[in-house]
Amino acid sequence: MAIDLRQLFADRQQQLAAQLSLARHHIGHPGDKGAVSETEWLELLRSFLPSRYCVDKATVIDSCGSTSESIDLVVYDRHHSPLVFEQGGFRYIPAEAVYAVLEVKQSLDAGHVAYAAGKAASVRRLHRTSAAVTDIRGATPIKPPIPILAGLLTTNVGWARDNATEQLLRHVEQLDAEHLLQLVCAADSQAFEISRNERGTQVQASARDNSLVFFLLSFLQRLQQLGTVAPIDFSAYKAAL
């Protein structure tokens, strides 16, 4: 029996979009609306991503004692980098463990693109260590830290929908590598995947009826291409004792 993947994805899209729209339609206070939106996106990613990935709101730290800004959603590893500290409701994650950082806002616009880019840079500029590990083959070479993905998640598009792709490109092509966003999703409108190579910056947009599925599959593909984070050098953190 064949399955209609297009219809399956369309049904899943409607389900996810309905969940995320609850905060926008039924909660009036901006702070409360933002908190609920963060929780909805958090639960969505936790339910969709493979179990090897953890997702939490957190601040990222490094072995030199530097910290990032507070990040709405950090996708991170607990296998090679298990140092996750919790204190009074705050979670601190070592920079070595981070796969991706995502900011959550209600609307996709120029200000929020710049805001998310700044948050990404505050993580990417942190110092990351790497250490050799031993497996069945013996000691492995030291692996360089992986690139950290960054994105912006919103409910709707603040620009006119017929030129949202052009508007987004205009703002992200000005970003340097430290600030660059790779994934942007407006749940009830469109999702965008951003790439940069020798030809410049390109933005690929989803159809308007599959933004969430496009974002999630693009995110999975990007994570797959990254591989696994480099093992943390615990001696660097011991030196801070």
- Contact indicator for 155, 107 with CB cutoff of 8 Å: yes
**Catalytic entry in 38, 40, 72, 193:** 72
Contact 187, 211 (CB under 8 A): yes
| Per annotation, catalytic residue among 33, 40, 62, 105 | 105
Instruction: Judge whether 105 counts as a catalytic residue.
Output: yes
Catalytically annotated residue among 38, 96, 103, 193? 103
- Per-residue buried b or exposed e for 190-222, using 16+ beta carbons within 10 Å of the residue's own CB: bbbbbeeeeeeeebebbeeebbbbbbbbbbeeb
| Helices assigned H by DSSP within 49-109 | none
Distance in Å from the first CA to the final CA of the chain: 61
DSSP state of 189: S
Active site residue 96: no
Residue carrying structure tokens 């994934």: 183
Active site residue 238: no
Q: Which residues are catalytic?
A: 72, 103, 105
